[in-house]
Amino acid sequence: MSVGCVIVDANIAFKSLLAGRSDLRENIGLGGHPQLFAPHFLFIELFKHKERLLRASHLLESDLLTALHTLLNQLTLVHEQDISVGNWMEAWRLCKGIDSKDTPYVALTLHLSGQLWSEDEELKAALRARGFHHFFNP
């Protein structure tokens, strides 16, 4: 099955870095690799939690920064202002009462008609209950 574009959420990016494996494409394990996207917000989240990632990964800071560089080179970051207001409003409706930090990922998924890659089962269950079924499962 061919997948066009996949929106990588923060928990996937964090797990990739914590495992010392910043190569998301290897983690997918598919023959044909989809394009990987993330909202620019992911970049902010990664740096906001850099110290926590450093402690949890048990990597040297230079190794974590190298892994972060590799990870970010695999992603196309999309500025939030490039996503339509309509997609933002729908994403807000879908994420309301769940976790507002997931709104940019859902908005980008809607904007690109892609699939959201998340291992947040609570989020996925809540979104499914609201009619959102665009998930990537490697």
Would you state the pLDDT for residue 72? 85
Would you state the pLDDT for residue 4? 78
Q: Is residue 137 part of a domain?
A: no
Closest CA to 136 of 46, 36, 45, 68: 36
* Alpha carbon of residue 68 to chain centroid: 14
Whole-number average pLDDT of the chain: 87
* Alpha carbon of residue 43 to chain centroid: 10
The structural domain count of the chain equals: 1
Q: How far apart are CA 117 and CA 4, in angstroms?
A: 13
Q: Is residue 88 part of a domain?
A: yes
Q: Is residue 38 part of a domain?
A: yes
Q: pLDDT tens across 25-58, in order?
A: 565 544 456 789 999 999 899 889 989 988 988 8
Would you state the pLDDT for residue 92? 97
SS3 76: strand
Would you state the pLDDT for residue 30? 47
Query: Where residue 118 sits, what CATH number does that domain have?
Result: 3.40.50.1010
Q: How confident is the model at residue 80 (pLDDT cuts 50, 70, 90)?
A: very high
Q: Is residue 32 part of a domain?
A: yes
Would you state the pLDDT for residue 137? 86
Q: Is 22 in contact with 8 (CB distance < 8 Å)?
A: no
Q: Is residue 25 part of a domain?
A: yes
Q: Is residue 125 part of a domain?
A: yes
Q: How confident is the model at residue 63 (pLDDT cuts 50, 70, 90)?
A: confident
Structural domain that includes position 14: 5-129
Q: Is residue 9 part of a domain?
A: yes
Average pLDDT (78-84) is: 96
For a pLDDT cut of 90, what percent of the chain falls above it? 54
Would you state the pLDDT for residue 1? 43
Q: Is residue 135 part of a domain?
A: no
Q: How confident is the model at residue 59 (pLDDT cuts 50, 70, 90)?
A: confident
